[in-house]
Structure 1
Amino acid sequence: MKTTISQVAKHVGEEVTIGAWLANKRSSGKIAFLQLRDGTGFIQGVVVKAEVEEAVFQAAKNITQETSLYVTGTVAEDTRSPFGYELQVKGLEVIHESTDFPITPKEHGTEFLMDHRHLWLRSKKQHAVMKIRNEIIRSTYQFFNDHDYVKIDPPILTGSSAEGTTELFHTKYFDEEAYLSQSGQLYMEAAAMAFGKVFSFGPTFRAEKSKTRRHLIEFWMIEPEMAFVEHEESLEIQEQYVSFIAQSVLENCKLELDILERDTDKLAKIQAPFPRITYDEAIDLLKEKGFDDIEWGEDFGAPHETAIAESFDKPVFITHYPAEIKAFYMKPDPNRPDVVLCADLIAPEGYGEVIGGSQRIDDLALMEQRYQEHNLTGDAYQWYLELRKYGSVPHSGFGLGLERTVAWFAGVEHVRETIPFPRLLNRLYP
């Protein structure tokens, strides 16, 4: 019977055949242990010399790393293994022999591993990170589908930007100027006026010359937008969503979290409600912590976010930032127009901002004023202005950066390991 490693629990005591690759091995004179992977998981194959034909045992001893093969054997429970099962091998059939595989069990430098990213993805830890990424994506769709959101796909090529053009990739669109999208938000606002509650999930691009562990040039964002939803309700939706995907990872990625040696107690604390502080309170907190140079009106950098997060054992919302350092579309606080109805969600453990969101301006006259202040008078933004002209309503939205969230949940230091093929400041290969 042909099966996969992820399904062997259904076949205990049965003889099965698995198509796999050899990840690693060790052997003695009488027994060989084969670490096998098939994309769905990892399992140990045990080859006992006295129980197989001599040719099979010799093949097991001589097989090389990343050789592809069909392995036939009996599934047995193994309480010593985190996976819980092993394969008692009876037969091997080599499909393709791999020679001189460049990534060996020894230590390799980061640049070497990134140059061989197409092969590094096969390793157990990288596999675990990608499985956690996949679970976040799966549970994201589940959350929004269960709450009656409609998935809408905004364009990647755009004629305008969401937050200024300084960090956009510029290109030619035949005879017009165009950019790679840095956010689908403006288009999601249009979709929300048609469908009520929507979300997008897709790639975004930032031409930002940053080399920090939190930054990528190309990354993926989940961007919900909601009609008839104001600031406070939006915060509640955000914390419910983050709590849901965190608990889904805890429940469905136990083996992967174990492989990564993740402290799951910290993930278990990611449950709504989350604490909230205003930007004003955050400034005061930073000054108490020794950041004497921070002044009101300045944006927070990574050290500031980390220091703020250390004061809480859950993710924390920082709300009501100064209007002058936030995007043109954010709605001012009616009681205090110099700050806007917005929030950043700061993750603990130094992972920084994972969500940025706000209530959007719904007043036509105020948006026209913002257009003048930001020189957004061109035709490229006319359609966005019209959303306030024809049946405007209060609405809010937010964007969650997938890779930062994966890094946080997986306990990975650098976001370059949280996307299959990262695009960094000096890396476009492989």
Structure 2
Amino acid sequence: MKITISQVSKYVDQEVTIGGWLANKRSSGKIAFLQLRDGSGYIQGVVVKEDVGEEIFARAKSITQESSLYVTGIVQTDERSPFGYELQVKSVEVIHESVDYPITPKSHGTEFLMDNRHLWLRSKRQHAVMKIRNEIIRATYEFFNNEGFVKVDPPILTGSAPEGTSELFATKYFDEDAFLSQSGQLYMEATAMALGKVFSFGPTFRAEKSKTRRHLIEFWMIEPEMAFYQHEDSLKVQEEYVSYIVQSVLQNCKLELTTLGRDVEKLEQIKAPFPRITYDDALKFLHENGFEDIQWGDDFGAPHETAIAESYALPVFITHYPTSLKPFYMQPDPERDEVVLCADLIAPEGYGEIIGGSERIHDFDLLEQRIEEHKLSKDAYNWYLDLRKYGSVPHSGFGLGLERTVAWISGVEHVRETIPFPRLLNRLYP
């Protein structure tokens, strides 16, 4: 019977065939140990010369790294294995022999690994990160579907920019100017007025010339938008959502977290509600902790966010940023016009902002004024103003960056490991 490695628990003491690749091997006299992978998981195949005969044993010992093969054997429990099972091999059939596989078990430099990203993805560590990424995506759909949200797909090519055009990739759309989307938010606001609660999940692009471990040129965003939700309502959704995906990973990716050496005790604490601190209080905290140079109206950088996050075991909301720091569409605080009803959610352990969100301006005149103040084309935003002309309501939304969230939950240092084929400032290959 042909099965995958992930299915072996159902076939203990039965003979099965697994198609996979040889990740590594070692031999000890008359026994060979084959580390097999098939995409669904890893398992050790034990080849005993006395049981399989000279020919099969010699074949097993000669298989090269990343050769593809069919392995037939008996599934057995193995308490010494993190996976809990091993395969007592009876026969081996080589499908294709891999010659001089470039990524050997020795240490390699980052640039070499990035040049060979198409092969590096096969490694145990990268496999674990991708499985955690997949679990976060699965849990995202589950959470929002359970909460009554409708999945909507905003366009990737747009004629306007929600946060200005300075960090956008421009292109020609026949005889018009167009941009690769940096956010689907404006379109999600339109669909929220039609469907109530919506979310999108798709690629976004930022032409930001940054080389930090937190930045990618192309990344994926989850962007919910909710009609009749005010700022506080949105914060509750955010903390419940983040708690949900963390707990889902803990439940369904135990082996992957172990492979990565992740401290799961820190993740086990991630449950709503999350602490909140205003921009003003955050600024005061920074002044008291060695950051005297930052002034009111300055944005927080990575060192500032890290210092604030280190004071909490949970993700922390920083709310009520100065209006001057935020995009044109954010609702001002009715009691204090110089700040807006917004929040950034900062992950613990130095992973920085993973969510940005706000209540949106729902007053036509104020939004029109903001568009003029930001010197944006009113013609390009006429459709967006229409949302405030025909049945406007208070509404809120947020965007979660998938790759930063994967980095935090999996515990990897750089976001380049959290997406299959990262696009960085100087990298468009492979």
Please, what TM-score do these two structures have when normalized by structure 2? 1.00
Partner of 2:166: 166
Q: CA deviation at 1:28?
A: 2.1
Alignment of 1:117-156 (within 5 A): 117-156=117-156
Is residue 19 of structure 2 the alignment partner of residue 19 of structure 1?
yes
Name the SS of the counterpart of 1:387 in structure 2.
helix
Identity percentage of aligned residues = 78
Q: Distance in 1 between matches of 2:274 and 2:50?
A: 60
- 1:195-229 alpha-carbon deviations (Å, 9 max, x no partner): 00000000000000000000000000000000000
Aligned residue identity for 1:345: L
Q: Distance in 1 between matches of 2:52 and 2:223?
A: 56
Partner of 1:304: 304
Aligned residue identity for 2:7: Q
Q: Distance in 1 between matches of 2:140 and 2:18?
A: 31
Partner of 2:198: 198
Is residue 354 of structure 2 the alignment partner of residue 354 of structure 1?
yes
Name the SS of the counterpart of 1:362 in structure 2.
coil
Partner of 1:80: 80
Partner of 1:265: 265
Q: Distance in 2 between matches of 1:132 and 1:29?
A: 38
Alignment of 1:240-279 (within 5 A): 240-279=240-279
Q: CA deviation at 1:393?
A: 0.2
Q: Which moved more, 1:294-303 or 1:368-377?
A: 368-377
Please, what TM-score do these two structures have when normalized by structure 1? 1.00
Is residue 185 of structure 2 the alignment partner of residue 185 of structure 1?
yes
- 1:115-145 alpha-carbon deviations (Å, 9 max, x no partner): 0000000000000000000000000000000
- 1:288-325 alpha-carbon deviations (Å, 9 max, x no partner): 11000010000000000000001111000000000011
Contact conserved, 2:371 with 2:378, CA < 8 A, in 1?
A: no
Partner of 2:399: 399
- 1:377-428 alpha-carbon deviations (Å, 9 max, x no partner): 3421110011000000000000000000000000000000000000000000
Q: Distance in 1 between matches of 2:42 and 2:73?
A: 15
Q: Distance in 1 between matches of 2:219 and 2:366?
A: 32
Q: Distance in 2 between matches of 1:37 and 1:313?
A: 36
Q: Distance in 2 between matches of 1:223 and 1:15?
A: 47
Name the SS of the counterpart of 1:95 in structure 2.
strand
Q: CA RMSD in A?
A: 0.5
Q: Distance in 1 between matches of 2:355 and 2:34?
A: 43
Partner of 1:234: 234
Alignment of 1:268-417 (within 5 A): 268-417=268-417
Name the SS of the counterpart of 2:388 in structure 1.
coil
Contact conserved, 2:372 with 2:378, CA < 8 A, in 1?
A: no
Aligned residue identity for 1:406: V
Q: CA deviation at 1:375?
A: 1.5
Q: CA deviation at 1:374?
A: 1.0
Aligned residue identity for 1:211: K
Runs of 4+ in 1 over 6 A off after TM superposition: none
Q: CA deviation at 1:269?
A: 1.0
Aligned residue identity for 1:162: P
Q: Mind listing any 5+ residue stretches in structure 2 that lack a counterpart?
A: none
Q: Mind listing any 5+ residue stretches in structure 1 that lack a counterpart?
A: none
Q: CA deviation at 1:371?
A: 1.3
Partner of 2:223: 223
Q: Distance in 1 between matches of 2:183 and 2:276?
A: 25
Aligned residue identity for 1:279: Y
Aligned residue pairs: how many? 430
Aligned residue identity for 2:269: K
Name the SS of the counterpart of 1:388 in structure 2.
helix
Q: Distance in 2 between matches of 1:221 and 1:204?
A: 7
Name the SS of the counterpart of 2:389 in structure 1.
coil
